[in-house]
A and B are shown apart, each in its own frame.
Chain A
Amino acid sequence: MNLARLALRDLRARPAQPLLAMLLTALAVALLAALLSFVDQFDKRMVRDAAGIDLVVGAKGSPLQLVLSGVYHLDVPPGNILLAEAEALRKNRLVADVIPLALGDNYRGHRIVGAGHAYMDLYGGQLAAGRRYDEPMEAVLGSDAAKSTGLGVGARFAGTHGLGEGGHEHEEDTYEVTGVLAPTGTVLDRLILTPVESVWWLHAGHAEDDAEFEQARREVTVALVRYASPTAMVLLPRRINAETSLQAASPAFEMARLMTLLGTGRDALAALAGVLLLAAGAALVAGLMAALSARRYELAVMRMLGASRGVLFAGVLIEAALIGLSGALAGLLLGHGFLAALGTWLSVAGQPVVLPWHFAPLEFWLPPLALAAALLAGLWPAWQAARSDVAAVLARG
């Protein structure tokens, strides 16, 4: 027999109100856990996917849209640009490297990206099977793309027009899978890569005359640029935006801007979690006070049996701690269960996969936070238990 066992007995004897407090704690912790894990994964993915890309150059339009489409493959690009314009950037002394990308099709939600081998190298893509592509209409699949489509080396597939599911199929022109990449933890995992010429070839097929064919051949969607020196960070975007028909957008700047915008929503969710935690505290106080009222004679008998005021105080605090900790653990499970459901849903849609069991460093503070909140809420009932008037209770019988 010990105080923890006694506290458990008390909780089991009157489960309704402790369960309510536990549930509210769990909801608050679940919200915070899901939020922290998601934001942490989002931040890390954003950093990984944009590593080695200093500037995205594409058609005029929204710079955020350009970055989201060209780096993260999350949005539709604002338009195409001439390959010649993209290649001209190589001659600029401020530029170290240029990787042109051509977008246009997808296969079961996975974008088919026309790019040179340099794009694979940018993310450290290593082959898990097969070989890299050499010819148009050959394709290498990212690890997630291969897993979700079930395609392997030697398989053939027809791309669908457009960047999302639902477009018409290029039934007459099929790709051949020549390789599958090992997981990189980057955007590469969910893409299907092919030479730029494949995209030109497919879309040239729709052209009605040679002029349109030539036009299509010479277009790409974006050019990913790496600076040659820190000076380029100041000069290059300004020059491109002011002196050419292209648009230059910095992934770091645009994502910081996006995070500022999302920050409001994130803060609102965190505030909601705070309100839930306050409600949990109030339910805890109400539950423990109601239990004390029902147990006043028990407490008096325990005092007669030798329990000190400190023991009664500690007993109530242990009950509060058990509620807080069990709520926190249930909340972590609930929060990550939600992420698991979200991850399944998003991966089905071909969007970035959310890892359900990724724990953000800040999440490890959630159980101590819930415990501290529960102990704080338990202080008043514990004090009341410790100060209970044994004489008055016993006199009443």
Chain B
Amino acid sequence: MTALVELVDFVHRYPGAAPIAAPDFALAKGERLMLCGPSGCGKTTLLLALAGLLAPAQGAVRIAGKDWRTFSGAAADRRRGRLVGFVPQEPHLIAGLSIADNLRLAMYLAGTAQEEARVEAALGALGVAELAGRYPHQLSRGQQQRAALARAVVNRPPLLLADEPTASLDDGACAAALDLLFSAAGSVEAALIVATHDRRVRDRFARVLELGAIAA
């Protein structure tokens, strides 16, 4: 199977801190990967590098066969919008915009056609179609999480990145959040990479990548 995501010799350095390294890996469309490790081990750094928002000090990050380094500025941003869906730890829906407008904003920023059918499909897949006209503050936290997931997949990205999606959730809510994430990724057949320090979800992933700082 052709690799959608490839990480090769990844090392990143922040000034005055130990370098962050990650083992090489490749991920095909539809596959799921858990990035785990303690706080500060570089999970978010790796997510940002996978999203093309951070250039590693060493190594290569390829999405759909192309290194992020070959794109610059707005071209990289447009590519990220189309290829990468992002689920933050908190829903962080844009206040003042309806749920449907939050999804339309994601389509606008990615430069994709703002088709209403896509908005309805994404919200429908996550079971929140009836909330399209509501505003974030009118939704429960669970509904907000579903809406944020719908926003992440509305552009049908081949890669979905999630940052600590189960942090501070009890066991039941943790399992439900993961089910929802898998369902969202499955709805667009996206590869899913979840960065978490939550060991409870380890069993749900066939592939797990342990991260840790290495000596300089």
Q: Are B81 and A305 in contact (CB under 8 A)?
A: yes
Judge if B143 is at the interface, Cβ distance under 8 Å.
no
Q: Are B106 and A308 in contact (CB under 8 A)?
A: no
Judge if A301 is at the interface, Cβ distance under 8 Å.
yes
Q: Are A305 and B105 in contact (CB under 8 A)?
A: yes
Q: Are A301 and B89 in contact (CB under 8 A)?
A: no
Q: Which residues of A contact B82 (CB under 8 A)?
A: 306
Q: Are A301 and B88 in contact (CB under 8 A)?
A: yes
Q: Are A306 and B45 in contact (CB under 8 A)?
A: no
Judge if A234 is at the interface, Cβ distance under 8 Å.
no
- Number of cross-chain contacts by CB at 8 Å: 87
Q: Compute how far the CA of A9 lies from the CA of B105 in the bound complex, rounded to whole angstroms.
A: 12
Q: Compute how far the CA of A132 lies from the CA of B163 in the bound complex, rounded to whole angstroms.
A: 91
Judge if B104 is at the interface, Cβ distance under 8 Å.
yes
Closest to A301 in B: B92
Q: Are A394 and B163 in contact (CB under 8 A)?
A: yes
Q: Are B108 and A1 in contact (CB under 8 A)?
A: yes
Q: Compute how far the CA of A395 lies from the CA of B44 in the bound complex, rounded to whole angstroms.
A: 6
* Size bracket of the B interface: 35 or more
Within 8 A of A (CB), among B44-101: 44-45, 47-48, 51, 53-54, 73-74, 77-78, 80-82, 84, 86, 88-90, 92, 94-97, 101
Comparing B109-117, B173-181, B183-191, B199-207, the segment that makes contact with chain A is B109-117
Q: Are A304 and B86 in contact (CB under 8 A)?
A: yes
Rounded to whole Å, the gap between the CB of A391 and the closest CB of chain B is: 5
Q: Which residues of B contact A298 (CB under 8 A)?
A: 92, 94-95
Rounded to whole Å, the gap between the CB of B114 and the closest CB of chain A is: 6
Q: Which residues of A contact B151 (CB under 8 A)?
A: 305
Interface residues of A (CB under 8 A from B): 1-2, 6, 9-10, 12-13, 297-298, 301-311, 390-391, 394-395, 397
Interface residues of B (CB under 8 A from A): 44-45, 47-48, 51, 53-54, 73-74, 77-78, 80-82, 84, 86, 88-90, 92, 94-97, 101, 104-111, 114, 151, 163-164, 167
Given pairs A304-B53, A305-B151, 12 additional interface contacts (CB within 8 A): A9-B97, A297-B90, A303-B53, A305-B86, A305-B106, A308-B77, A310-B73, A394-B44, A394-B88, A395-B44, A397-B88, A397-B164
